[in-house]
Amino acid sequence: MDRIDNQILSIIHENARITVSEMSRKIAMSQPAVTERLRRLEEQGVITGYRAVLSPSKLGKYTTAFVLFKSKNCKEFEEFGEAAPEIVDFYRTSGEYNYLLKVVTETSETLEAFLESCNTFGFSSTLVVLSTRFEDKGLITSQDA
Amino acid sequence: MDRIDNQILSIIHENARITVSEMSRKIAMSQPAVTERLRRLEEQGVITGYRAVLSPSKLGKYTTAFVLFKSKNCKEFEEFGEAAPEIVDFYRTSGEYNYLLKVVTETSETLEAFLESCNTFGFSSTLVVLSTRFEDKGLITSQDA
DNA sequence: TGTGAAACTGCATCGTC
DNA sequence: GACGATGCAGTTTCACA
């Protein structure tokens, strides 16, 4: 994990579909060398995947909310969470609440319906997202790369 | 936006570095047709980008937390947030708190230092993430694709 | 680990429907 | 909108440093 690896990570976090050739030009290194470094970063688990970022609103999902949850039966609630398509992110947390969920739904009505379906598992508190300033800022700072 | 577009979105959300040829085999359509559909999905803003997913712990970041924030001066706080490398996600929310931040730091000590640097802007409540059950579940359900 | 060369594979583009 | 053909670009592999 040297400076070149950090450059590769920074570039590929910005644009996961960049070609290895283009990257090799950016960092002034041969294309097979970059391919090999990428392979290693994947193998070591530094890179865990590559994802397209989709616009919720363009897919008819206009409501995003964070739900703080205090569940009684954790096992049952986690099984419910796995199966619920509305839950995009699912975290176990410390504090008064033991779960935090990011929920994406069509409208506030479908959010309400979702919250009601959670009621049997415990108590929740919901924060509706008004707007997103930014998401998924890179973990590599310019000084690292 | 038909079933084939949904299939493309589902596939490329799973693996953003898949080749167009491989996709075209999976969905039994010619390579130029898939290229054209991809181009349109990008142009329409359904796909807003492609990102590598990086492991925080492999980069020395062992602490993730969600910070609920109640700020007095919103403009100043947002400028601070843009510049803070610890803040990975930044949302404006409804409710008692007006911001929600996802913060990734090296240790609980660096989290503490970050929280102290926020103090001038208002009041915060922090939920430390104990574990992540899942993140970034696809917005396309199997019935759509 | 990194490089250069060669064979292979994938992609952009265009004409056709 | 989708297809097939084609020339160019990117990737894989390997011998060598």
Domains annotated for chain A, with CATH where assigned, are 3-43 (1.10.10.10), 57-128 (3.30.70.920)
Q: How confident is the model at residue A6 (pLDDT cuts 50, 70, 90)?
A: very high
How many angstroms separate the Cα of A77 from the Cα of each of A57, A80, A117, B22, B142? 28, 5, 11, 37, 22
Residue B46 has a pLDDT of 98
pLDDT digits (tens, 9 = 90+) for B33-59: 999 999 999 999 999 999 999 999 999
Contact A46 B54 (CB under 8 A): yes
| Tens digits of residue pLDDT in A102-123 | 999 999 999 999 999 999 999 9
Task: Output the CA–CA distances (angstroms, integers) from residue B108 to A56, B32, B65, B104, in the order listed.
Answer: 33, 50, 9, 10
pLDDT number for residue B123: 95
Nucleotide nearest to B24 (CA to C1'): C10
A 5-64 residues with CB < 8 A to B: 9, 12-17, 44-56, 58-59, 61, 64
**pLDDT for A73 beyond 90:** no
| Option in A16, A100, A130 nearest B127 (CB) | A100
Q: Residue B11: left (phi > 0), alpha (psi -120 to 50), or beta?
A: alpha
Over residues A18-23, the mean pLDDT reads 98
Facing B133 at nearest CB: one of A68, A91, A136: A91
pLDDT higher than threshold 90 for residue B73: no
The answer to whether A103 faces chain B, any CB pair under 8 Å, is no
Closest chain A residue to the Cα of B93, Cα to Cα? A129
A47 CB below 7 A from strand D atoms: no
A46 has pLDDT over 90? yes
Q: What is the DSSP letter of A44?
A: T
What distance in Å separates residue A88's CA from the closest CA in chain B?
5
Percent of residues, chain B, with pLDDT higher than 90: 98
